[in-house]
C-alpha cells in the first residue's frame, strides 16, 4: 500500500494513533527540524504537494504512487535513469 511507512509500535500507538496526518506531522515537525529530509527517505518528496498538511489522501496516494514507481524503475534499470 502506498500509505505505509515503517514506524515502531510506540510511535504508532502513542503518537499517531487515530490522528489525522496534518495533526501528527505538525507535532513531528516541532521535534524534527529535518522533517522534510526525513520524509524524502520515505519517498515523500514535498509534503505540500503530497497533501499531508491538508489531509488530502487522494493527492497523497497519487503523488506517492508516482514517486514509488520512479524509484522502482530507477532500481530495476539504473542506467536508464
Model confidence pLDDT, tens digit, residues 27-44: 999 989 999 999 999 999
DSSP single-letter state for residue 15? I
Element (H, E) at 41: none
Distance in angstroms (rounded) separating the CA atoms of residues 81 and 71:
10
Domain range summary for the chain, segments of one domain joined by +: 9-80
For residue range 58-78, what is the model confidence (pLDDT) as tens digits? 999 999 999 999 999 999 987
Amino acid at each position: 500500500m502506498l500509505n505505509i511507512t515503517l514506524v515502531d509500535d510506540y510511535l504508532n500507538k502513542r503518537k499517531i494513533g487515530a490522528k489525522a496526518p496534518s495533526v501528527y506531522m505538525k507535532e513531528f515537525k516541532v521535534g524534527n527540524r529535518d522533517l522534510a529530509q526525513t520524509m524524502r527517505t520515505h519517498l515523500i518528496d514535498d509534503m505540500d504537494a503530497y497533501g499531508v498538511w491538508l489531509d488530502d489522501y487522494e493527492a497523497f496516494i497519487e503523488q506517492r504512487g508516482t514517486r514509488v514507481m520512479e524509484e522502482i524503475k530507477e532500481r530495476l534499470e539504473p542506467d536508464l535513469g
